[in-house]
Amino acid sequence: MICCLMNALGAVSQDIHFSQFNATPLNLNPALTGLFDGDYRFVLNRRNQWASITVPYNTYSGSFDMVLPTKDWKIKNLPEGIWGAGIVINNDKAGDSQLGLLEAKVSLSYTRKISKDSSMFLTFAIQPGISNKSFNYNNLQFDEQWDGDSFDPNRFSGEVFQRTSFTYLDLGFGTRWHYRLKARNNVNIGLSYTHFNKATETFLSNSSSQLSPKFAFHADGQFMVTDEVDLVPSWLYQRQNTFSEAIIGASGKYIINPEDNINFYLGVFVRFQDAVIPMVSMDYRDFKAGLSYDVNTSQLKTASNGHGGFELSVSYVMRKFVPLKPAKRLCPVYL
């Protein structure tokens, strides 16, 4: 137990992660801020992992972003383009020690057209934030509490923690390239680099552990297959210190009602050397909901029995003004 604790509290730590990475845009890349069809976007994500092995790891995320009304700004020499702003709040609890992460990050993005025909766009964004990490050692057991015959929880653990909570500044930035080939055919590529200020994070007095920067590369697209079906592939690779994660897969999008934006998605993704992830989601007008489950395929499957992580995502896009559709056509089209 103590070895695992020291690894978590005094060494380089990893970030939270979601299998539905495209459903948590401000966590994936700050350059995705404000890039949606609408004025305001609300996103909620929840992940529950390793419930079959130990105390479940619970991760919650909520974000809000918007397109800034630059036409109303009275600022001279403001670059022409699309500006977006947003905030994301994450809360994560892990294991017996309740090792927790609570963070709030704000992001500002700028998107510029880079082709004359408006088929290509480039976005840059920054994302400063404040993070807090904490833990509770009351439920932990240490070697020094074994008296030779039995475990004594009142016995001194032999460990002295300087603190059980600390807060630090976190900085990140990102970029994203979008290419629209034609209707229902587009490609997106993004890069993000977070924690580049290498904040110090440790609960121990004799450690100067730093939060390692994280690099993430992601790509996705949409390609028309038939009048009712699109192929939506996605790929994510991210690396932090010696740890890396790669997810690849695709969903089929079945268009039920294009006028009301009612679509159904079914797909399968793979996290290399870890899990197979079936996913299902649906658009209903301005709402989108997704559900996925990680089926563990790594060496841990002996203990997990193949169980991994359950994940839910919900988003809602709000528009300032939506014109009313008449229930009946008022006059023939030829008049």
Write out the DSSP string of 264-301.
EEEEEEEETTTEEEEEEEEEETTEEEEEEEEEE-STTH
Report if residue 287 sits inside a domain: yes
| Residue 8, domain member (yes or no) | yes
Identify the domain containing residue 31 by its residue range: 2-318
pLDDT at 138 over 90: no
CA distance 118 to 129: 33
Q: What pLDDT was estimated at residue 5?
A: 41
Question: How high is the pLDDT of residue 51?
Answer: 55
Supply the pLDDT for residue 24: 97
176-202 pLDDT, tens digit per residue, is 999 998 889 999 999 999 999 999 887
Which CATH number does the domain housing residue 33 bear?
2.40.160.40
Within-domain flag for 325: no
In a domain, 326, yes or no: no
Residue 260 covered by a domain: yes
In this structure, what token pair is assigned to residue 21? 């990475």
**Which pLDDT band holds residue 3 (cuts at 50, 70, 90)?**
very low
pLDDT tens readout for residues 139-181: 777 777 777 777 777 777 767 677 788 899 999 999 999 999 8
User: Could you report the per-residue pLDDT of 13-39, keeping only the tens digit for each?
Assistant: 558 889 999 999 999 999 999 999 999
Q: What is the pLDDT of residue 333?
A: 41
What percent of the chain is predicted at pLDDT more than 70? 82
Residue 58: pLDDT above 60?
Answer: yes
The domain tally of the chain equals: 1
pLDDT of residue 184: 93
What string of H, E and C letters represents the secondary structure of 97-129?
CCEEEEEEEEEEEEEEECCCCCCEEEEEEEEEE
Residue range 244-257: average pLDDT?
97
**78-100 burial code (b ≥16 CB/10 A, e <16):** eeeebbbbbbbebbbbbbbbbbb
> Does 333 reside within a domain?
no
Q: What pTM was estimated for this model as a whole?
A: 0.85
330 lies in a domain? no
242 pLDDT above the threshold of 80? yes
Cα angle at 243 between 238 and 246, to 5 degrees?
40
Q: Give per-residue pLDDT as tens, 81-111.
A: 889 999 999 999 877 777 889 999 999 999 9
Q: Kindly state the average pLDDT of the residues 197-217.
A: 84
Task: Give domain status of residue 328, yes or no.
Answer: no
Q: Which residue has the tokens 């004594």?
A: 152
